[in-house]
C-alpha cells in the first residue's frame, strides 16, 4: 500500500494586499470651518467647546509681499500681512489646544 502524499489544492492566499492605504480617519471638517469660532466637539479630547482662532501667515502671504517688493510697490508690502484673505485662520481646541482645522477663505 502506498500513500500519495501530495495535495492538489494549495490554499488560496486569503486577504491579498491591495493598493488600499491603511484606514485613515477622514478629516472631512478640515476645510469646512468658518472664519468665526465654531461650537463643536473636539475630536481629540471630546470636549464640546468653542474653537479659538489663530491667524497664521502662509507662504502665499510672503509670496505676495515679495512680489510687491520686486515690482517696486514697497508701500504695499505690509498689505498681505493685514489682509485676511492672504492669511490662514486655524481653529484650535480651547481645552487641549489641538489643531482642529482651517477656516475656508
Ligand atoms: Zn480638545
Could you state, in order of their start, the residue ranges of all structural domains in the chain? 39-102
Answer whether 48's CB lies under 8 Å from 98's CB: no
Ligand 1 geometric centre to CA of 38 (Å) = 13
Please state, in angstroms and rounded to a whole number, the distance separating the CA atoms of residues 14 and 63. Answer: 52
Share of the chain above pLDDT 70, in %: 69
Max Cα–Cα distance, the chain, nearest Å: 101
Question: Is the whole model's pTM more than 0.75, yes or no?
Answer: no
Ligand 1 geometric centre to CA of 37 (Å) = 14
Ligand 1 geometric centre to CA of 54 (Å) = 15
Summarised one tens digit per residue, pLDDT across range 66-104 is 999 999 998 999 988 888 778 888 999 999 999 999 887
- Give 61's DSSP letter: H
Ligand 1 geometric centre to CA of 45 (Å) = 4
Please state, in angstroms and rounded to a whole number, the distance separating the CA atoms of residues 61 and 71. Answer: 16
Amino acid at each position: 500500500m502506498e500513500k500519495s502524499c501530495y495535495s492538489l489544492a494549495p490554499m488560496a492566499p486569503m486577504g491579498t494586499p491591495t493598493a488600499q492605504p491603511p484606514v485613515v480617519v477622514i478629516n472631512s471638517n478640515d476645510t469646512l470651518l468658518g472664519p468665526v469660532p465654531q461650537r463643536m466637539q473636539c475630536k481629540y479630547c471630546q470636549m464640546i467647546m468653542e474653537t479659538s482662532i489663530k491667524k497664521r501667515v502662509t507662504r502665499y502671504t510672503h509670496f505676495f509681499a515679495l512680489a510687491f517688493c520686486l515690482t517696486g510697490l514697497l508701500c504695499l508690502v505690509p498689505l498681505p500681512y493685514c489682509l485676511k484673505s492672504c492669511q490662514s485662520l486655524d481653529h484650535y481646541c480651547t481645552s487641549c489646544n489641538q489643531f482642529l482645522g482651517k477656516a475656508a477663505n
